[in-house]
A and B are shown apart, each in its own frame.
Chain A
Amino acid sequence: MTLLIEESAASTQKKAHKVRGKVRLREHLMGWLFVGPFGIVFLALLIAPLAYALYLSLWQKKLIGGTNFVFLGNYVKAFTDPTFLSGVWFVVRFSLVAIPLQIVIALAMALIVDAVTSLFTRFSRLMIFLPYAIPTVIGAVMWGFLYSKSFGPLTDIFGLFGATAPDFFSKNLIFYGLINVVTWQWAGYYMIILYAALQGIDPSLYEAARMDGAGKWQIALRIKIPLIAPALLLILVFSLIGTLQFFNEPQILRYLAAGTIAPGFTPNMYAYQQAFALANFNYGSAISFALGGVVFVCVYAFLFFTRKRRSFL
């Protein structure tokens, strides 16, 4: 067997000049053969729709005069449209509160579950991860029950202390009501990713740090957290992309929080309303694209700042 491989390796070397062109062509063909099917789906269901949405967003449909080419007119309209702007402002504010909160909780849980090995922590790990198995829609439905005045527990619980229950469907508190839903939904998932990263750290590093006199807290802060920074960054970027596209939870709670969550509450809800309720596909596409632009700018800005910050550390 070894002989055979050696022999063939030697003969390959000899013939290398002759067959190089042939081998290369074969490698190109096989590469594209494997990547091709995905490539077709990618072109048909990602590139083509994106290009089409861009095209649509440059036109405007009027009752009189038909469809006209307006170039960036829809974008000018979007970025001066108070509904769109307030939606963007909402998701940006929401991201600034929800993401750090989720990450801090996830990180704390991951550090505990990593440092303390007991049956209970193993059980907790599973239970905290459980909400990830729940579709976001069902999660929102479930929290909708808990917030409800007619059959939620809040009235009873606050009644025990003689207080009135907070109404998470009111204009003032809906922000926190939604923060709670997404934290519940995602913190466990992030915890598992961070925990997996923590488990990948070489334990001899802790040993060395202990020799140098580092305590548990110092090990957590100075060794564990810096070493899982790539995983933290990955989570931050994905949760930023996801949160800016906020749709499912407010769309579901909209029925219960009638009057609080308007159809244009988040940019994605606004795009949905424009396209599917008002059949204004041009403006809907423009809003989607404008939101994509906002996502891109936010992610880029975030990556820029974190890179800079790290060079200081």
Chain B
Amino acid sequence: MTARSRTAGRQRPQRHFPLQVLLGFLVVYFLVPFWWVIVNSSKDAPGLFGGGNTMWFADRIDYVENLTRLFTYDGGIYGRWILNSTLYALAGGVGATILSVMAGYGFAKYRFAGRRFSFSVMLGALMVPATALVIPTFIMFSGLGLTNTIWAVILPSLLNPFGVYLMHVYARDAVPDEILDAARADGAGEIRTFFRVAFPLMRPAVVTVLLLSAVASWNNYFLPLAMLSDNRLFPVTVGLGVWQGVASANNAGSTSLWSLIILGALVSVIPLVIAFFTLQRHWRGGLSVGGLR
């Protein structure tokens, strides 16, 4: 509605040519690293180090060969990393979302004892550096024998106080008390009211929290770096970091590894870029909820 009245309020289309040129420069800046990676992942080692144009394709374009090498190198470990990242993102994302939706709804719609106190404690937790938790969590998990298992990565990503905050704000505004009371008066229990009445109204924010938590798990680096030592459990972020360390430490002998890292970086961003483009409607809805308050 706001969007329509905005355009109606405008008399003539506004062009602002200089501003668009400025914006154009910024777009180029933001796209340069992507362009470099797209171009250079097509090269073989001589093409990469042979001193040709670094911002354009070499004569030989080797995507297929490089892809084959990427997915067969070291027994196909790269494919495993991608699958691990997907598993961690899905498990952490779905788990964190279920907990956030329930807690956000509970905080917004029930006046229970200790509500204010626990809500402010949770808000305070937004300030706790996530990395400050990694060291003690590591020791606790190692006592339980959980380090170097998938649970060491999945369990900590279930915690998403920001998701609870977002769901709280959304449930408070989008689920009117009157509707809940009407459902109760019609004889629906609390659980039924939640699933049949409240949940459908909260769905847009649920999708946003799911996306945000899944992306946070996918991007995670410090936690799996500390928790995992078996490289078959690595997510792709840790795996590529290790490859890069190996390649830099041994610059001369590892020219072939560099082309794998470049293509590996490109392949690893494709799923998320596609997700962003196809789901952008949901992003914006949720970000405006978080940004306005």
Q: In the complex, which residues of chain B have a beta carbon less than 8 angstroms from the beta carbon of A27?
A: 110-112
Evaluate contact between B112 and A255: CB separation under 8 angstroms.
no
User: Interface digits, B259-293 against A, CB 8 Å rule (1 contact, 0 not)?
Assistant: 00110010011001101110010011001101111
B152 shortest CB reach to chain A, Å = 11
B17-59 residues at the A interface, CB under 8 angstroms = 19-20, 22-24, 26-27, 29-34, 36-37, 40, 48-49, 53-55
**A to B CB contacts below 8 Å, 13 in the list:** A27-B112, A37-B103, A42-B159, A45-B155, A52-B136, A53-B135, A117-B7, A150-B49, A184-B30, A197-B292, A203-B2, A252-B241, A255-B249
A172-230 residues at the B interface, CB under 8 angstroms = 184, 188, 192-194, 196-197, 199-200, 202-204, 206-207, 230
Q: In the complex, which residues of chain A have a beta carbon less than 8 angstroms from the beta carbon of B53?
A: 156
Assess A136 versus B221: contact at CB under 8 Å? Given A34-B110, A41-B159, A196-B291.
yes
Evaluate contact between B292 and A146: CB separation under 8 angstroms.
no
Partner of B135 from A9, A137, A204, A284 at Cβ < 8 Å: A284
Evaluate contact between B30 and A231: CB separation under 8 angstroms.
no
Measured between alpha carbons, how far is A121 from B245 in the docked complex, in Å? 39
B174 within 8 Å of A (CB atoms): no
User: Interface digits, B179-197 against A, CB 8 Å rule (1 contact, 0 not)?
Assistant: 0001001100010001000
A301 within 8 Å of B (CB atoms): no
Measured between alpha carbons, how far is A276 from B102 in the docked complex, in Å? 36
Evaluate contact between A45 and B133: CB separation under 8 angstroms.
yes
Which segment, of A72-80, A96-104, A241-249, faces chain B? A241-249
Evaluate contact between A151 and B20: CB separation under 8 angstroms.
no
A3 shortest CB reach to chain B, Å = 11
A133 within 8 Å of B (CB atoms): yes
Of all chain B residues, the one with the shortest Cβ separation from A150 is B49
Q: In the complex, which residues of chain B have a beta carbon less than 8 angstroms from the beta carbon of A268?
A: 129, 131, 222
A19 within 8 Å of B (CB atoms): no
Q: In the complex, which residues of chain B have a beta carbon less than 8 angstroms from the beta carbon of A34?
A: 102-103, 105-106, 110, 194
B244 shortest CB reach to chain A, Å = 6
Evaluate contact between A275 and B291: CB separation under 8 angstroms.
no
Which segment, of A58-66, A289-297, A304-312, faces chain B? A289-297
Measured between alpha carbons, how far is A203 from B2 in the docked complex, in Å? 8
B5 within 8 Å of A (CB atoms): yes
User: Interface digits, B110-138 against A, CB 8 Å rule (1 contact, 0 not)?
Assistant: 11110100100010011111111101111
